[in-house]
Each structure stands twice: as structure tokens, then as C-alpha cells.
Homo-oligomer: A and B are copies of this chain.
Amino acid sequence: MIDIKPGSDGAAARAAPGTVFEWPVRVYYEDTDAGGIVYYANYLRFFERARTEWLRALGASHTKLEAEDGLLFVVCDLTIKYLKSARLDDQLIIDVRVAEARRASLTLAQTARLAGYDEILVSARVRVATLRRGATRPAPLPKWLLQELN
């Protein structure tokens, strides 16, 4: 069930541990290519929007995390499977599930589906880490965030 509306700042977002966070994404011309389908790189944009909103719902927006903790999230690696194509005007649901939470990295399982359908169009496993700005080695996630996740 989708209970988060983009743009509605005060949404009583659910991003509790064990649950699935869902974020709606509409497909616009900018997202498609001459094959008539969503360009393959653009799912990475959609997945990142959902991760960003999931973190925001947990109280960890990018700007807050950087201002207060000096931390940036970076993607370390990912695998992605393209099973079926999305098209112009499709309403997609992107979800975020914590697959593994470590001290300095999170592995997230994400999928894209059509709203109202269960079939998975694209699925991904994305490992993200936190870096201290300017540094090149991962820094531990903020404790309060790890506690939220466990």
C-alpha cells in the first residue's frame, strides 16, 4: 500500500524496520528512450529517489546528514535485473527494503512495479556506505540511524 505522497512534507511516513517503504514515480518523456521504454539508467534515478525519501522519512535527509554529521551516502555496488519494460505515463511504485545493515554500509533490496500490480519490472540490490565529506574511506553510520534500522 502506498501511503507516501511526494510533495506532502508532513506525511506520516512509515519507514519502520522490517517494513517496506514505497514511493510512487511517474514515467515522463524525460525517462523514456527511442525504444519507447524507460531508459535503463533511469531506474537508478528512480531507486535513488525512493532511497532518499526513505531516509527522509527516517529523519535522515541528505542535507541534514551532511550538515549535522558531515556524512554523504555513496553507492558502492549494485546488481540490477531488467525483467519487463515500463513506458510513458506508467505509474510505478519503487520500494526499499533493508536487506542488511552493517556498521558502515547498508544493503537495500529495491524493486519497480506498476502501481496496482505485483509483477516486478526491475529489481536491484544496492549497497550504500557513508563517507565523511572529503574522505575516501567509509565512516560508520550515525548510531541513531542504525538503531532506527535494527
Q: CB within 8 Å of B: which residues of A?
A: 2, 5-9, 24-26, 28-30, 32-37, 39-42, 44-45, 48-49, 52-53, 56, 61-63, 72, 74-82, 84, 87-89, 91, 115, 136
Q: List 20 A-B contacts (CB under 8 A).
A: A2-B7, A5-B7, A5-B8, A6-B6, A7-B115, A30-B39, A30-B41, A34-B87, A35-B72, A40-B48, A40-B75, A41-B41, A41-B42, A61-B89, A62-B89, A74-B82, A76-B82, A77-B80, A78-B79, A79-B79
Give, as a whole number of angstroms, the nearest-CB distance from A97 to chain B.
Answer: 19
Give, as a whole number of angstroms, the nearest-CB distance from A26 to chain B.
Answer: 6
Contacts known (A28-B52, A29-B39, A41-B30); A89 close to B76, Cβ less than 8 A: no
The chain B residue with its CB closest to the CB of A122 is: B77
Count this chain's copies in the assembly. 4
Give, as a whole number of angstroms, the nearest-CB distance from A125 to chain B.
Answer: 9
B-side contacts of A76, CB under 8 Å: 81-82
